[in-house]
A and B are shown apart, each in its own frame.
Chain A
Amino acid sequence: MDLKMDLEERLRAETWGKPSSVNDLPQRVPPDRQTQFPNFASHKNLQKREDQDPSISNYGMRIEPSFSEFNRPSECQPPLPSNPISQDRGVQMNDILQLGKTQEWDPKAMLNNLSFLEQKIHQLQELVHAIVGRRGPVLGRPDELVAQQQQLITADLTSIIIQLISTAGSLLPSVKNSLSSASTPPIRQLGQLGGILNNSGSGIGLDSNLVLPSQGGSKVPDQSNQVDPMDQSAIDNLEDHESKDDEDGDEGENLPPGSFEILQLEKEEILAPHTHFCTICGKGFKRDANLRMHMRGHGDEYKTPAALAKPHKEAGSEMMLIKRYSCPYAGCKRNKDHKKFQPLKTILCVKNHYKRTHCDKSYTCSRCNTKKFSVIADLKTHEKHCGKDKWLCSCGTTFSRKDKLFGHITLFQGHTPAIPFDENKGGLSLQGEHNEDTNKVGNVSFSFGSSTPSSGGVQNIMEDVKGNVDDPSSFFSPLSFEASNFGGFNEFTRSAFDDSEGAFSFLLQASCNYTQKNGGQSSSNNLE
């Protein structure tokens, strides 16, 4: 396993390091920073290898800060205070990624991309030349290095291909000309390409997958200059979150290294009723699916199956970092300032937690008129069972199932089942059972339906907060998923995995479709 990881890391390092070709960076990186990312478990092994081959070691070291920039924008600054360029880059990258959604496509960026590609091809040319030149005199070189160089070239080539495709992708008519779509989704297309290649068993598939992270990074320096001045206004509405994240990042230093990243939404955002807005009329929706249905009314282009299809979840979008959420309520155990802080796992958890714990219970059950809820879903769940076949303990606890009640009674001394007041129990219980069955179905469909808005909500908010910082590699084939899983992201949820698998079955078209949707939405969100 380690070996595999090793290889992956190395390849990343190579593909990343070569085009940027910064050889003196490793010296500036403080050694303690290098060990700060247990996610990159193979880090030390990597170093060992580096001893053998200094040229590669450079790339390997280089990867550390850049990855930290990439994954944890909040943390990218402290480690490299002495290097203004790199810091700049980190910020710029964030900005770009933020801008990805907010900014319209402009030919300048395109031009920039193309010139960058040109430059890159030249670099590659030089490298090949160098190899050719070295062939004769350097005889003592181990074959290993030669092979690595070959791999390096392959990787660079792949990187160029990706860049080309992504550049072309930004020109697709359905894409709302957003830079973000130019940067991420096309990558995903390629990633799928890579996945397909992988499946077909070609060795290059691995490389193409692993190359991708570097691609995002390599693009950064070139674009940063242009983007920098205009992004400030665009991210104004997100400013507070950014700063919060920075704070979090500072605090994150006290947390177990690299365990998770903490996000905190503001109260208003948590309580906002709608999270999906129509770009045309501005109508708000709670569920993306409903928005998509609504969009049909705005024209035929929204009626295509592709437009109506559920955008697949960004499976493994959190692959490179686990996000955890903090409740904005001071003093709450779920608040990051709490001594025994217990983070919340998803945005939905945040919403439900905040409403349940810190809001008035404004929804009253219409059946019993006693139970109150602050989350309407809780009310609905309760109402389904309220009065019907409710198994009640003398302590006041209710159970939906008899065996649960009996388990409870077995467990607790002195507790007894409470006897309902209606006398005709037999018939009622029968009816209750029937109802239970139908309720189950209802529940299933309900939860199924709710999964869409929740994920949608998460996605949206994440976009608001983080932009497209998510590692693009998460879009890729199962192999890349697996590979990054080795990095210790065991917490990755099962459902996400399933979804990601589902996503692989989609072809390019589907991902384009997603791009379109996502881009439209996110831009509309930002307009709000």
Chain B
Amino acid sequence: MASLESLTEDLLVRIYKGLASDADRKSWRLVCRDFHRIDALTRSSLRVLRVEFLRSLLANYPRLDTLDLSVCPRIDDGAVAVLLTSRGSPWAFPRAAASSLSPPGRDPLAWTRGLRKLVLSRSTGLGHHGLEQVIRACAYLESVDVSHCCGFGDREAAALSCGARLREVKMDKCLGVTDVGLAKIAVGCGRLEKVSLKWCMEIGDLGVDLLCNKCVDLKFLDLSYLKVTNDSLQSIGSLPKLEVLALVGCSLIDDTGLQFLGGGCPLLRVIDMSRCNGISSCGLVSVAKGHEGLVQLNASYSLTECSSILLRCFKDLKNLNAIKIDGARVSDSAFKALSNCTSLVEIGLGKCIGATNLGLMRLVSGCVNLRVLDLTCCHSITDAAIFAISDSCRNLTCLKLESCNMITEKSLYYLGSFCLLLEELDLTDCGGINDTGLEYLSNCLELSCLKLALCPTISDKGLGHIASKCRKICEIDLYRCNGIGDDALAALSSGCKKLRRLNLSYCSDVTDRGMEYLGQLEELWDLEMRSLFNVTGVGLMALAAGCKRLADLDMKYCENVDDSGFWALAYYARNLRQINLSHCNISNMGLCMVMSNLTRLQEAKLVHLNKVTVEGFELALRTCWVRIKKVKLLAALRFKLSSDVRETLHSRGCKIRWD
């Protein structure tokens, strides 16, 4: 310890800044008081899991500029009001207060002055009063995220508009926001640079036009899935600084609108026009011709035909590094033209009709710098194409080969031999691969995401090869891999300690033993284990007790898990955020325990629970109604539940999906 003490604070800060992951920082904090203090003084962003500690945490971190409350349930007007009062809070438990390192007498609201970014995503409990209070209190706020607050409307938008310094507003899926709300923001926050309005279905041309008129500094604009027309594009065309534009699923725009874009927005770099049914190659040509600096172009599922004129245009875009033309009909000659775009790093050709071996060979002969290649559902490609790709593009990091049925273990051999940087591989529904192939593939030591769903030919052995060598794997998909059993999980649990996401659905051979192995994966965060008949309460208990970080659990059709498992779940899985218990044998009591004890639970799917009565649902919902944000229930319950419960849930911003 003496040597540690000799380190100056300055040096400690330097070391601390070298820490990469949250887990490492957590370990650092726990070393000693000094280290904790360094953490407190240096830390700039905070993601709070429980509102109870929020106040003391805010007091402890004076340098905080980013506050993320998106995973924190029970953020509502009351919580905000308490948070912003200068007096003591009812939640400030004595112990937490004692551990506070802030000097006594410090302004408890000091954090509001430092805060620049606030994430309130999914804070459905928050109303416009609370939002306005927060925005007004944090006078220097520059970025706010209220995405997925489905209940937010114009009043909440008006509250946001109080933040005159805001540069970034993300309000995806604020379903109630209309043009009026957007106008409020546009007028109130004239400095806006980034605005995301994805799924704000009520916003139309008028609002967008006004936004473009009032916020001329816009650099990023996301209008995906909005009912905007060419008029909006005309307004957008007048934005002098726009760099990124997303228009996914804007089916009302067409080539005429794209001409406005072609003539305007001189700094446009990234444009996403996927799933715009109204556009054609012609419109894209006008965009491409107007913007030589274009870096990314996404036109997936928008084009039926990829004309040669368009492809020739791409050649002139010297900076173009990503292009997605999924779903378009392409010819071999088109690939030839595309191969001239040597700057390309990413190509999306999913479901492209006409993507053949020959075409791909031509393509990769030119585009040797490819890192990401999406060949989803290019059914006709074979090992020959994969050979050409892996031979030419040695830097490949992501390859998607879903439903490429013709490829065999040879492809994996090529990949394992040449593409050693491969990080993500999607082999979903590739019936031709086997354990030998996986053995070849295990040479790709960087692999972090492997999707092997619907590959019934692979077994524990193959996965064992992967698990033993690919230590960096954090996501693996084994959906309906019937050959997978407990041994594979044993291998994973010992080899892939970083595994965060796992899909084991319909791997019916997995038993309680496998679950016990999974319990050793501390990082496991998202587990889908539908229809595992051989897993019982014992298995679930082992899982819940071991996987402390588990946040998302889908155990639909796990019919043999009994209440003992659910009790354990309710007791251990304190970080659970989403749960699917549909078709489970859970009792009234079990459900009630799960719903009341899991204080971070935000989303629950509770259909076809045969052992749960109406009273059980009623009680369970009452126990969690202050924090639950989304719940799926049988439609039959709609009229059986008391109006009290329904209304309270509704007023708290909880969305009930009636199945």
Contact = CB atoms under 8 A, between A and B. Distances in A.
A414 B176 CA distance: 23
B187 A414 contact: yes
Contact of A417 (B183, B209, B214): B183
Interface string A377-421: 000000000000000000000000011001001100011110100
B155 interface: yes
A400 B187 CA distance: 21
Given A416-B161, A416-B188, A410 B178 contact: no
Contacts of B184: 416-417, 419
B492 to A, nearest CB: 49
A425 interface: yes
A400 to B, nearest CB: 15
Interface string B469-505: 0000000000000000000000000000000000000
Residue from the set A403, A415, A419 with the largest chain B CB neighbour count within 10 Å: A419
Interface in B147-180: 153-155, 158, 161, 176, 178-180
A199 B154 CA distance: 64
Contacts of A417: 179-180, 183-184
Nearest to A402: B206
Residue from the set A403, A415, A417 with the largest chain B CB neighbour count within 10 Å: A417
B510 to A, nearest CB: 47
Contacts of B180: 417, 419
A410 B153 contact: no
A406 B158 contact: no
Contact of A416 (B183, B206, B209): B183
B450 interface: no
- Chain B binding surface SS class: helix
Interface in B333-361: none
Given A416-B161, A419-B155, A419-B158, A406 B179 contact: yes
Given A406-B206, A409-B210, A425-B153, A415 B187 contact: yes
A425 B209 contact: no
Nearest to A417: B180
Contacts of A403: 206
Contacts of B210: 406, 409-410
B213 interface: yes
Interface string A409-439: 1100011110100010110000000000000
A414 B158 CA distance: 13
A430 to B, nearest CB: 12
Interface string A108-143: 000000000000000000000000000000000000
A480 B153 CA distance: 63
Contacts of B183: 406, 409, 416-417
A415 B154 CA distance: 16
Residue from the set B180, B184, B187, B206 with the largest chain A CB neighbour count within 10 Å: B180
B483 to A, nearest CB: 52
Contacts of A402: 179, 206
Contacts of B158: 416, 419
A425 B153 CA distance: 10
Contacts of A414: 187
A46 B537 CA distance: 115
A510 B176 CA distance: 61
Contacts of B178: 425
Contacts of A410: 209-210, 213-214
Contacts of A425: 153-154, 176, 178
Nearest to B157: A419
Interface string B189-211: 00000000000001000110110
Contacts of B207: 406
A403 B235 CA distance: 14
A451 B68 CA distance: 64
Contacts of B213: 410
B190 to A, nearest CB: 9
A410 B183 CA distance: 9
A282 to B, nearest CB: 55
A419 B154 contact: yes
24 contacts: A402-B206, A406-B179, A406-B206, A406-B207, A409-B183, A409-B187, A409-B210, A410-B210, A410-B213, A414-B187, A416-B158, A416-B161, A416-B183, A416-B187, A416-B188, A419-B154, A419-B155, A419-B158, A419-B181, A423-B153, A425-B153, A425-B154, A425-B176, A425-B178
Given A409-B183, A416-B184, A426-B202, 18 more contacts: A402-B179, A406-B206, A406-B210, A409-B187, A414-B187, A415-B187, A416-B158, A416-B188, A417-B180, A417-B183, A417-B184, A419-B154, A419-B158, A419-B180, A419-B181, A419-B184, A425-B178, A426-B176
Nearest 7 Cβ contacts at the A-B interface: A417-B180, A416-B187, A406-B206, A419-B154, A417-B183, A410-B213, A416-B184
